A and B are shown apart, each in its own frame.
Chain A
Amino acid sequence: MAKQGEIYRVAGPVVTAIGISPKMYDIMQVGEEGLMGEVIKIDGDKTIIQVYEETSGLKPGEKVIDTAQPLVAELGPGLLSSVYDGIQRPLPVLMKSMGDFIKRGVSAPGLDHTKKWHFTPTAKKGDQVVPGSIIGTVMEFNIVHKIMIPPGISGTLDSITEGDFTVDETIATVGGKKITMLQKWPVRSGRPFEKKLLPDIPLVTGQRVLDTMFPLPMGGTGAIPGAFGTGKTVTQQQLAKWSDAEIVVYIGCGERGNEMTEVLATFPELEDPKTGEPLMQRTVLIANTSNMPVAAREASVYTGMTIAEYYRDMGYNVSLMADSTSRWAEAMREISSRLEEMPGEEGYPAYLAARLSEFYERSGRVVALSGGLGSVSVIGAVSPQGSDFSEPVTQNTLRIVRVFWALDSKLRERRHFPAINWLTSYSLYTGNLDAWYKANVAEDFPALRQWAMEVLQKEAELQEIVQLVGSDALPDEQKMVLEVARMIREIFLQQNAYHKVDTYCPLPRQYKFMKLIRQFSDLSNRAVESDVSVDSIVELPVRNRLAKAKYEENIDQELDAVGKEMAGQFESLGGKA
């Protein structure tokens, strides 16, 4: 039987109990209503608990019960298309029992324990199995959900049965132990795998500036820092919508309720470009908004990560977005300050850096225990206080992640979206990925990227001169550099997430765009050498047509047509032969 103690002190989400000696990170039931909490500190006879629900009215003297279990996620069929709070309570279930507002004292399991799933064995009686071995499958929408042997169990498969089962029913036995389709995993520990591999396949997102300029591989880590309103959420949602991961875990960590509503309204209607199925069917959403309890916000990233790892272990490529990791860090700060811990920088706890790196380390492309290949890519939004990138959360994140998509308020003010600064952003993976791009897109793809970056760099230098003397004072070749840079920015880098056609740009099309801009640049350089004026080059109808192509329904034909008429229009400019 669980042990019982009583409340000694209540201060916000932090409750101190006495008369009980649980283990660190045990889940506790706090107060007469049995509010869910987790042990975060043990200090002599005092147990300090962070409570995942609102604590108003809680009194000293009320009882506290130790469940002797850590915070676990329920893993099994039924995760996909779910919407959870930070501790994996399904929000639709909470709404049924509490109404439109989140009240408290209601626990709800992460999976539906009454629903029957059709289990098809892939292993047979007599097979040797170890933790992670795949013994059968269940169709979860169009995704093959692989049922794995849970940790700690290995031996000979004594029996295995095809049929319709709930997640609690026995589908197989191993050495006398019953196997069900449900696993419980403590969210704060990473799930085991065989070994990590070097990520060398890009996560294709359909976002030009990301895929071409600053690519992220499957299993890689990236951060998107940016002041408010610069496009962190829109970028993350674009990744959730269009990236070619098979499974998406989207964590709304301390952000807006209306943004979750937007995801819930749009995802079921959008189609996965690869499979044609509704996007929601490959998505798990965790919505612990800013006004929901902070302790559950703190847990939300771990809950999401555990679910992501579970699908990785089946051999899927999973991408996980956390919006925003800064709110997670703030939750740590808030709890830490209630514990009266010695603060580190700006009031954040001294273990901030350690927690961030532990989290990002759970990403990666791995050989799973089952032998399959899977990956978890992690993309964390960072919301720097005062849009100052030198603050602790941004800095500690940048020390870990290998892709940095820097959002820029200046770009956002001129509605250059995505407002990713091309001069300060980087991807440390480009070298690893070039071979893939050469083999799968075009041999000259890396060279084109390099060229475009050089033009943009050159533009930045020329802009400094222009600021002093005006652009009219520049020689024509340099004016042309500015014009080509403008084309790269306006045609290629800018991409409107809300435009039906422009929102998603497949890689071959990205290549075609870049190639055409390059061609335009080469032709104009030749024209300028023959004394053709920059103005007349810029006014060529083909330039305008190229700029507008991204909004046309028949975009690929448009681009082909642009390619065909470009040389001819340049010839018509004449110039000295």
Chain B
Amino acid sequence: MSIVSKEYRTISQIAGPLVFVEKTEPVGYNELATVTMPDGTQKRGQVLDTSGKYVVIQVFEGTAGVERAAGVKFLGETMKMPVSRDMLGRILDGAGDPIDGGPAITPEDRLDINGAAINPWARDEPKEFIQTGISTIDGMNTLVRGQKLPIFSGSGLPHNDIALQIARQAKVRGSNEEFAVVFAAMGITAEEAQYFMNDFERTGALKRAVVFMNLADDPAIERIITPRLALTTAEYLAFELDMHVLVILTDITNYCEALRQIGAAREEVPGRRGYPGYMYTDLATLYERAGRIKGKKGSITQIPILTMPGDDITHPIPDLTGYITEGQIVASREIHRAGIVPPINVGASLSRLMNAGIGPGLTREDHKAVSDQCYAAYAEGRDLRGLVAIVGKESLSERDRKFLDFADAFENRFVRQGRDEDRDIETTLDLAWDLVSMLPVNQLSRIDRKYIEKYHPAYKKSE
């Protein structure tokens, strides 16, 4: 239905990433537009506001070099992503164009990048346990297919290693269905991007991956569309081609900065710390694109990564993310300084879908109980460290001393594991029992008696 559209030379204002165009024929909201400079270079944008008076376009590549003499065309449709199975193994830029020197992608379909909300009635319950081989995740904050579980990190912490280890080791046991990785970089450095690419190449994962790259020196506003392109691709792979897709989005903080930039340029009333009041809803339109659908074989599991400005978990970016995602894996500077790899803060981390993915038939019947006990004991031991610093270990009761030792052992044996160490769930749970057995048995308030009799190293009846 696209008519040969008219070119307007009626730009009245250019502000930040926005271009205002006057005296147009009716233009649709969210419609795609092109801005053509007198020298022929072209930029793409999207309509944010449309009325009889003027149309506001948000230019993805930024407005550097745009002048009032530029021509504007409206394309009569919202932004679409050409998708195809052949995208696997390809590297694209943040706007979806190939940058790996390969051929253009022949689309099998063109899909609206904004997607649409999955009807809650159509969703299927995520409950298949994904074994990542990382004890702090599998044992304590279990990931399941269809979950969105972000990594909350800080600048300089090895969050990329955690994401890569998950991408490498993740498997659903007893299944060998088709899987794929969709990786979207938003504003990360070329060096960081290279780190991911090297790992994908080294492990052969690249063949099963679609990579979108918006780097630190690429246009900031493009970051608004990069994750949407990635998720549109993921939806195609998962719900049309039946694949299990793991989506890694990094760094959400850069995405939110771009969002704030647009809000400021539109002179909107800001919410907390200058971020737009609709940031919750906007982030939800990304994160909620994870999940499963009844009757479809594939699934989308998301691991967004974000760096918390000033390591502050109450900053709007981690805060709003945490309110949308199904838990979070929190990287800790303190544990990192102690030289523990991966530096995951178990207490602050959470997987809300854990209960659906563990237990008899999924992992093991004692999983919930032993992990709850580890949580409680570790938290108590950590609190005691503060006390020891003041009063010394001698003034602790016998009981408290055991909890203190537990916390140390937990970090050194359970949390600490090699970058390439892939622990299966039994190893992880047995390790947890080993540690729990350091505590007096009458202090194991979270564990049913029957599990103590079956799994506690000192009490289990030898088979």
Which residue numbers of A lie inside 8 Å of B, CB to CB? 8-12, 16, 54-62, 83, 91-92, 94-95, 98-103, 227-229, 252, 254, 256-258, 260-262, 264-265, 287, 289-292, 294, 327, 330, 333-334, 337, 343, 346-347, 383, 385-388, 412-416, 466-473, 490-491, 496, 498, 535, 538-539, 543-544, 547-548, 551-552
Contacts of A346 in B (CB 8 A): 271-272
Chain B residue nearest to A545 (CB atoms) is: B449
B442 CB within 8 Å of chain A: yes
Contacting residues, chain A, for B112 (C-beta < 8 A): 56
Is B192 on the interface with A (CB-CB < 8 A)?
A: no
B residues whose Cβ falls under 8 Å from a Cβ of A: 26-31, 48-53, 77-78, 112, 114-126, 146-147, 239, 268-272, 277-278, 280-281, 284-285, 288-289, 291, 293-294, 296, 314-316, 319-320, 322-324, 326-328, 347-348, 350, 352-353, 355-356, 368, 372, 375-376, 379-380, 386-387, 390-392, 395-400, 442, 445-446, 448-449
Q: Are A60 and B50 in contact (CB under 8 A)?
A: yes
Do B26 and A256 touch (CB < 8 A)?
Answer: no
Q: What are 20 contact pairs spanning A and B, CB under 8 A?
A: A9-B50, A9-B51, A57-B29, A83-B121, A95-B121, A98-B119, A100-B122, A100-B296, A252-B120, A257-B123, A260-B120, A289-B117, A330-B281, A343-B269, A415-B372, A469-B395, A473-B395, A491-B445, A544-B442, A548-B448
Contacts of B347 in A (CB 8 A): 413-414
Would A414 and B277 count as touching, CB distance under 8 A? no
**A294–B268 Cα gap in the complex (Å)?**
17
Q: Are B120 and A100 in contact (CB under 8 A)?
A: no
Contact B291 A257 (CB under 8 A): yes
B51 touches A472 (CB 8 A): no
- Dominant SS at the B interface? mixed
Indicate whether A291 sits within 8 Å of B288 (C-beta atoms), given known contacts A91-B120, A100-B293, A471-B400: yes
Name the A residues within 8 Å of B278 (CB-CB): 12, 294, 330, 334, 337
B272 A100 Cβ-Cβ under 8 A: no
A258-B50 contact given A55-B29, A539-B442, CB 8 Å threshold: no
Distance (Å) between the CB of B104 and the closest chain A CB? 27
The 6 A-B residue pairs with the shortest CB-CB distance in the complex, in nearest-first order: A470-B395, A9-B51, A414-B379, A290-B284, A228-B322, A386-B314
Least CB distance, B440 to chain A, in whole angstroms: 8
- Chain B residues contacting A347 (CB-CB under 8 Å) are 269-271, 277
* Chain B: minimal CB distance from A9 (Å): 3
Which residues of A lie under 8 Å from residue B380 when comparing CB positions? 414
- Inter-chain CA distance A434–B269, complex, in Å, is 48
Contacts of A254 in B (CB 8 A): 280-281, 284
Cβ-defined contact, B116 with A472, below 8 A: no
Task: Assess A385 versus B379: contact at CB under 8 Å? Given A261-B123, A414-B347.
Answer: no
Q: How far is the CA of A102 from the CA of B293 in the complex (A)?
A: 13
CB atoms of B326 and A258 under 8 A apart: yes
Find chain A residues with CB under 8 A from B353 CB: 258
> Roughly how many angstroms separate A337 CA and B49 CA in the complex, as a whole number?
14
A472 and B397 within 8 A (CB): yes
Q: What CA separation (Å) do A471 and B404 show in the bound complex?
A: 14
B314 partner residues in chain A, CB cutoff 8 A: 386-388
Which residue from A16, A256, A265, A386 sits with its C-beta under 8 Å from B51?
A16
Give which listed residue, A11, A287, A466, contacts B120 with CB less than 8 A.
A287
B284 & A291 in contact (Cβ 8 Å cutoff) = yes
- Which A residues lie within 8 Å of B119 (CB)? 91, 94-95, 98-102
> With the chains together, A407 CA to B436 CA distance in Å?
28
Most-contacted residue by chain A among B117, B319, B380 (CB, 10 A)? B117
Q: Are B121 and A91 in contact (CB under 8 A)?
A: yes
In the complex formed, the residue of B with least CB distance to A535 is B398
Cβ contact within 8 Å between B28 and A102: no
Residues of A within 8 A of B271 (CB): 333, 346-347, 385
Is A95 within 8 A of B51, CB to CB?
no
Cβ B124 vs Cβ A57 within 8 A: no
A343–B281 Cα gap in the complex (Å)? 19
Q: Give the CA-CA distance A346 to B274 in the complex, in Å.
A: 10
Tell me the complex Cα distance, A91–B123, Å. 11
Residues of B within 8 A of A383 (CB): 323
Within the assembled complex, what's the spacing in Å between the Cα atoms of A473 and B387?
Answer: 13
Question: In the complex, which residue of chain B has the Cβ closest to the Cβ of A547?
Answer: B445
Contact A60 B397 (CB under 8 A): no
Chain B residue numbers with a CB within 8 Å of A60 are: 26-27, 50-52
CB distance from B455 to the nearest CB of A (A): 15
Q: Which of A10, A343, A386 makes the CB contact (< 8 A) with B272?
A: A386
Known A-B contacts A346-B271, A385-B319; A101 and B281 likewise in contact (beta carbons under 8 Å): no
Does A291 contact B124, Cβ atoms closer than 8 Å? Answer: no
Is the pair A11, B29 in contact by a Cβ cutoff of 8 Å?
Answer: yes
Please give the distance in Å from A174's CB to the nearest CB on chain B.
38
**In whole angstroms, how far apart are the Cα atoms of A471 and B393 in the complex?**
11
Rounded to whole Å, the gap between the CB of A291 and the closest CB of chain B is 4
Q: How far is the CA of A292 from the CA of B26 in the complex (A)?
A: 26
- Cross-chain contact B348 with A413 (CB below 8 angstroms): yes
Write the nearest CB–CB distance from B349 to chain A, whole angstroms.
Answer: 9
CA–CA, A94 and B121, complex, Å: 9
Contact B442 A56 (CB under 8 A): no
Q: Which single residue of chain B is at the shortest CB-CB distance from A539?
A: B442
Given contacts A57-B30, A61-B26, contact A258 B123 (CB under 8 A): yes
Give bound CA distance, A59 to B47, whole Å. Answer: 11
What's the least CB distance linking A295 to chain B, in Å? 11
A62 CA / B368 CA spacing, docked (Å): 57
Partner of A59 from the list B27, B272, B320, B387 (CB cut-off 8 Å) is B27
- A8, B124: Cβ atoms under 8 Å? no
A-side contacts of B294, CB under 8 Å: 100
Find the B residue at minimum CB distance from A413.
B347
A57 lies within 8 A of B28 (CB):
yes
Which residues of B lie under 8 Å from residue A100 when comparing CB positions?
Answer: 118-119, 122, 239, 293-294, 296
CA distance A227 to B49 in the complex (A): 34
CB neighbours (8 Å) of B395 from chain A are 469-473
Given A58-B28, A539-B442, A548-B448, residue A470 in contact with residue B387 (CB < 8 A) = yes
User: Which residues of chain B are within 8 angstroms of A473 by Cβ–Cβ distance?
Assistant: 395
Inter-chain contacts of A257 with B (CB < 8 A): 117-118, 120, 123, 288, 291
- Asked whether, in the complex, the Cβ of A256 is within 8 Å of the Cβ of B449, the reply is no
- Residue among A260, A291, A491 making CB contact with B285, cutoff 8 Å: A291
Question: What's the least CB distance linking B323 to chain A, in Å?
Answer: 5
Q: Are A258 and B31 in contact (CB under 8 A)?
A: no
Distance in Å: Cβ of B411 to nearest Cβ of chain A: 15
A10 with B125: in contact, given A347-B270, A469-B391, A472-B396 (CB under 8 Å)?
no
A92 to B119, CA, bound (A): 9
- CA of A54 to CA of B29 in the docked complex: distance in angstroms? 10
Residues in B with CB closer than 8 Å to A57 are 28-31, 77-78
* A256, B121: Cβ atoms closer than 8 Å: no
Docked pose: A466 CA to B280 CA in angstroms: 42
Smallest beta-carbon distance A380→chain B, Å: 15
**How close is B293's CB to chain A, nearest CB, in angstroms?**
5
With A290-B284, A330-B277, A337-B268 known to touch, is A264 a contact of B121 (CB < 8 Å)?
yes
B456 to chain A, nearest CB (A): 14
From known contacts A10-B50, A11-B48, infer whether A265 and B125 are also in contact, taking CB-CB under 8 Å.
yes
Question: Could you tell me the distance in whole angstroms from the C-beta of A217 to the nearest C-beta in chain B?
Answer: 30
Contacts of A327 in B (CB 8 A): 280
> B398: which A residues are within 8 A, CB to CB?
535
State whether A10 touches B51 (Cβ < 8 A): yes
Residues of A within 8 Å of B28, CB to CB, are: 10, 56-59
Chain A CB within 10 Å — which of B29, B386, B398 has the most? B29
Q: With CB as the reference atom, state the residue of chain B lying closest to A102.
A: B117
B314 nearest CB neighbor, chain A only: A386
Beyond the given A330-B280, A386-B314, please list 4 additional residue pairs across the A-B interface where CB-CB is below 8 A: A60-B50, A101-B118, A294-B278, A334-B278
Evaluate whether A291 and B387 lie within 8 angstroms (CB atoms) in the complex, with A256-B324, A472-B395 already known. no
